[in-house]
Every structure is written in C-alpha cells, then in structure tokens.
Amino acid sequence: MTQLSSRAPFANAIRALSMDAVQQASSGHPGAPMGMADIAEVLWNDFLNHNPNDPTWPNRDRFVLSNGHGSMLIYSLLHLSGYDLPIDELKHFRQLHSKTPGHPEYGYTPGVETTTGPLGAGVSNAVGMAIAEKALATQFNKNNFDIVDHYTYCFMGDGCLMEGISHEACSLAGTLGLGKLIAFWDDNGISIDGHVEGWFTDDTAKRFDAYGWHVITDIDGHDPEQIANAIAQAKRVSDKPTLLCCKTVIGFGSPNKSGSHDCHGSPLGDDEITAARKFLNLPNEAFSICDDIYAHWDAKQSGNEKQKQWQQLFSDYTNSYPELAKEFDRRVINRTLPENFETIANDYIAKCNKDAANIASRKASQNTIEAFAPHLPELLGGSADLAGSNLTLWSGSKGISSDDASGNYLFYGVREFGMSGIMNGISLHSGFINYGATFLMFMEYARNAVRMSALMGIQNIFVYTHDSIGQGEDGPTHQPIEQLANLRMTPNLVTWRPCDAVETAVSWKNAIQNQQQPTALVFSRQGLNHQSRSPQQINDIEKGGYILSDSTKAPELILIATGSEVDLAMQAAKELTEQGVAVRVVSMPSTTLFDLQSDDYKQSVLPNSVVKRIAIETSHQDYWLKYVGLQGKVIGMSTFGESAPGNVLLAHFGFTPENVINTAKALLKVNA
C-alpha cells in the first residue's frame, strides 16, 4: 500500500477524522470512509456544485452516500468544506442529539440530503432526485435559461448492489435515460462477513450495461487523475446515467487492517491508529487538521459565487418569464400550494356529499385526482404496474420517458420497493408532490422505504388499494390482514381508510396539504355506499374519527368502523335502534389523526362512560383493543383469508349485520 498522489494530504484529512471519530465513539465503520477518501476528495473539490452557506440552494448538486454506514465520510466532507458542522460534532459521533448520528439522517445534519441507513435505499433516492431534476428542467428551462441544471452523485458499496432495491431503481434509471445521475461503485470486495467473492460474484459492469447505463470500468479509486478523468467523461454523456467502477482498498492507510473486514465495522484501535498516522504522515493529536488543509477544502467562497451566478440567472429568467419564475418560486423554493387549493378541495368535497355516489373508494380516489390534479402542476403520479387496478391515471396523465420528461406520471413497472424509494428521492429534491400506488398487500415489499419516508418526515402519498378480504378470488396471498396495523403503528405516518367518496376526498386533501409527513391512503376494490353527513360532520372527518350516527338519548353501545365496514355498522345500528338500543356509530378513517386530537374531543366521540363498544374492520383484530377496552369486542381478522368471491368471504368471516347485531346483544347482556 503506497501513497499515489500529491493530493493525498487532503484525502488523508478524511481518513484522520473518520478513524478518530469512530475510535472515540467505540463504534462505527472506518473502512469505507478511508477507502473512498480519494474519490470523495476529487469529486467535492473539483466537480461538486454546492454552497456550505446555503445547503438548500435549489440548483446545488445532490450527493447521496448510499453506503450510509460509512457516515464519517460525509461528516468529514461537510466539516472540511465549511458546513455548519463544527469539530465538536465529529467528536460526538454517534452520541445522543449530536448532528453526527450513526447513519446520515435528513434534518439532523446540514448538507445531508437523505437518510441512508438500509443499504440500497440511497441509490433509489438518488434515482428519484435525478428524475425530479430531469422533469423540472423540462418544465422550467428555456433557451439560455437553464435554471434547473445539476447532477446527482451517489456513492454505493457492494452491499447496496446486493440489495434488490438497487436493481429495481437502477433498471428504471437506465430506461429513463437519467444523464445527470453519476454513481460510484466502491469495489473493495469486502462486507461484514469478509471477502465477498464467496457470495457476490455478479459482473456488475455488465449488469449496468444491460440496464442501459454508461459504464466506466477499471478506475483506480486511489488515483485522483483517473478519478477526475472518469467523472469528466461521465458528465459528457447526457442520455444515460453513468456507473464508475472504482477499485479501492477498504481502510486505506491502516497498515495492518486495510483490505480486510477487520476495519469494516469496528474501530481500528489505538495502536493501529498510531501506525496509520505514521503511514499517512498525520499529526499525532486526534481530530487535528492544519490550516492549509482547511483552506484547500473550504467551499464557502466558491459556493457563494456559484449561487450568486445562479441567482443572477434566475433574476434574468424572472424578467423574461415572470409567470414561470413565480411558479418555480412557489413549487421549488417555498413549497407552497396554490392559493385557491383549499377552496377547490372544499368545493369538491361538498360536491361528493351532494352527489351521494355509491362507488369503490379506489374509484372515488381517481375522481378526486381528476378534480385536484388540474390545479396542482406539482402533482406527480405513478403506479407499480397496476394503474388499471389502482386507478391512478387521470385524463391529464402523461408518462415521463427518456425522450420526453414533460409528463406528470411515472410507470414504475413491477417495482413496489424501488417506486417507494424513488418517491422519497423525488420528494427530497423539491418541486413535486408524489403519489405512487400498489395493492395494500404489496406494501410489504416497499415497507422499508415507507418507514424511511416517515423517519425523514417528508411528504409522500402512498396509495394502497384492494384493502381487505373483500377483494375476493385472488386469495390470501393478495388479501391484507396485518398491514393496516403495521402502517398505523409507524410513527409519523398518517394512515387513512375512508368509507366513501366524501371521506376519500377529505383524505386526499389532507395528504396534499401535509408537507411534514407521508400519508398512506387505503382504498377498497368493492363498491361502498354513500353516508349522509351534515357540514359539521364533514369538517370533523379531518379529525380522524367522528360521530356519523347517534341515538336520540345517551348511547349505551358504540360501533366503531372504517372503510367498507362503516356501512355494515350503519346497517346493524339501524336494526338495533329499531329494537330499542341506543347506538352510536363512529367512523374512524384515520386513527392516526384521531389519536392526536384533544382529550375533550376524543371523549366527546368515545366517552369513558360507554364501555360497551364493538370495533368492526376486516383487518387484524388486536389493533382495535385500545379503542374497545376490556369490556368491548372486536369483529376482525385473526387468520389469513381464503380464495372465494368477496361477498362469500365477508359472510364467512362474520362481517354481516346479523353477526354485528348478535355480538352487540351478547355484549349488552354482560353486567346488564
């Protein structure tokens, strides 16, 4: 192992900070940062357009560290470049409330574009960012005014390439011809278990060539000249994403542990760090970086100049295209909705209430998109090959392709996980409100990306149809049971299961207005009956749960239901009322939002004085125990479904007015 360049001292600063921070934390991954330091130094100092003074500058290049376990690489880069990440934060690596968590987290650290914990997630995010750049450029750029003109750079390791999401996302990236996406494969041949040739022998270059990528092979990842030439070559190819295959030595600079999994996920140890300092010609003191090194790295002045040039361009653009500039400012910079959206949405909700249509909520969803989308040019739809079933297409839908990115719809193909990860990247980029769809059952494939969306607190709209055993003949492989509970228990994710067209429209309105959280919209395949409501009840829908029907005297029984089971509860309540039972029906389309209401409101809907309660939902019964209490009952699912027509299955599993009535009567007799 030898030094290869006069630029080595600048890359060695990354190595020093990385091994010191991991050692001090007694936890972390020094190998990848030390191995990729030379690549990062060339990219950040010679090519990356960014401004440490303004990490949210719209036309900055995006940098994604998909192999996020090597987080000290990006923290070192941000610190050295001049971001608001002082050395004390690096000294508190992986400590509570520091800006340097174990894996890069969006919102914690200035300059971190996305949370990259699970391997491969970052690659899909990078693809989404590149899609957003290409689409925005098509919508806003004019002759001599390329106000959207930036690259997405992504570092990834062997683990990212082994994860299936990298296949889903990179395959689509090639199809869409994302020429502003440049990915670096850290080909060090090591993962936690050791040398990867025992479990990873793919021909990665051929794989990406088959995707339609521009592939540059045999790059020495420790030779700055080769690295710079490869990046320059990649930037000259505008119709394909590029993969740079960089051969590196993991833990480069560690005399005894480099090239081994011993430096992958463990501190080097004091003795090895001493040996590395000597080999790399570093100061003996930990976290010591000399002024000359900082001066080389500092990007604040150059960043200000680049942003100033862009601001002048945007000013000239504003003079020539004032309406487009205003729209760019609204969508990309300020992320605000059109001023009239609230009125448009409320008018449409009132129309749904007046029309009283008995339709499946998936169809009601499509109708809502049809009503809202013409007023929301930022709305970008998509589906994982199920558009005809999810009903995500509307009359103005236009697909985005490699040749034409002016559309507003992405045909994701059968890529549920990739779609959801790409959606995260599009949302993080700014300029669009995403929605992407699949069957609720196949949320399981995408689960990790949905969780990451919630963890980051970014706006995405996940549309899930075919929500229960009611979809019927496809059988238990396609009938969700535990998925709704899973979504509802995910922190910072708002989940809706509306019962008719009115609740569906309200759920869409809420999802579009909620910029701080992702939303899961869960819709039925089968038709649903309209429920009559007063204006106050319509207003209360956004509280997540409300009284849909009440008795003329104090209720002795409360029926709680969602989705297709709300009409079932209403049918049972009607007969029970005729038999003299004081029944209240509560529709709870979003338990997430109901739980956030004041105690007074929740008591007004579900008073503690009424202990006889029945929750009804074609989902796992255990979730509802917190709402019905020890003296209540749940009519739900505790097994998988079966293969049969939906109405047969609903009767088989007890979702009938008769079963609700009999359950209510038995419950009312207890301690009567």
Q: How far apart are CA 250 and CA 167, in angstroms?
A: 24
Looking at residue 343, what is its pLDDT? Answer: 98
> 4: pLDDT confidence band, cut at 50, 70 and 90?
low
Is the model's pLDDT at 492 over the cut of 70?
yes
Q: Mean pLDDT over residues 609-616, rounded? A: 97
pLDDT above 70 covers what percent of the chain?
99
pLDDT at 233: 98
Q: Is 330 part of any known ligand binding site? A: no
Overall fold of domain 542-668: Rossmann fold (3.40.50)
Q: Which contiguous run of DSSP H or E holds residue 557?
A: strand 557-561
Using the predicted structure, report yes or no on whether residue 593 has a pLDDT greater than 70: yes
Which pLDDT score is estimated for 536? 97
pLDDT computed for residue 166 by the predictor? 98
Region 106-125 average pLDDT: 97
Domain boundaries, the chain: 7-303, 340-522, 542-668
Cα separation of 560 and 566, whole Å? 8
- Token output for 48: 């990356």
Over residues 333-350, the pLDDT tens digits come to: 999 999 999 999 999 999
Query: Is 451 annotated for ligand binding?
Result: no
Catalytic: which of 133, 163, 416, 565?
416
Is 163 among the residues known to form the active site? no
pLDDT (tens digit, 9 = 90+) per residue, 345-382? 999 999 999 999 999 999 999 999 999 999 999 999 99
385 annotated binding-site participant: no
pLDDT band at 672 (very low <50, low <70, confident <90, very high): low
Q: Is 48 annotated as a binding residue?
A: no
Q: What is the mean pLDDT of residues 143-170?
A: 97
- The DSSP symbol for 626 reads H
3-state secondary structure of 153: strand
Please name the CATH architecture into which domain 7-303 falls. Answer: 3-Layer(aba) Sandwich (3.40)
- Mean pLDDT value of segment 465-477: 95
* Residue 622 burial (CB count, 10 A): 13
The residue-averaged pLDDT of 383-408 equals: 97
Tens-digit pLDDT profile for residues 211-225? 999 999 999 999 999
pLDDT of amino acid 578: 97
Percent of the chain with pLDDT over 90: 99
Is 58 known to sit in a ligand binding site? no
Chain-centroid distance, C-alpha 473: 32
Q: How confident is the model at residue 2 (pLDDT cuts 50, 70, 90)?
A: low
Q: Which superfamily does CATH assign the domain made up of 340-522 to? A: Thiamin diphosphate (ThDP)-binding fold, Pyr/PP domains (3.40.50.970)
| 7-303 shares its CATH topology with 340-522 | yes
Q: Which two tokens stand for residue 568?
A: 């079932």
Q: Which three-class secondary structure state does DSSP give residue 262? A: helix
pLDDT at 319: 98
Two structure tokens written together for 47? 């090519």
* Close Cβ partners of 647 (under 8 Å, ≥ 6 residues apart): 472
Residue 6 pLDDT level (bands cut at 50, 70, 90):
confident
Q: How far apart are the first and last CA of the chain?
A: 83
- Residues forming a β-bridge with 185: 156, 245
Is residue 93 scored above 90 in pLDDT?
yes
* pLDDT at site 671: 61
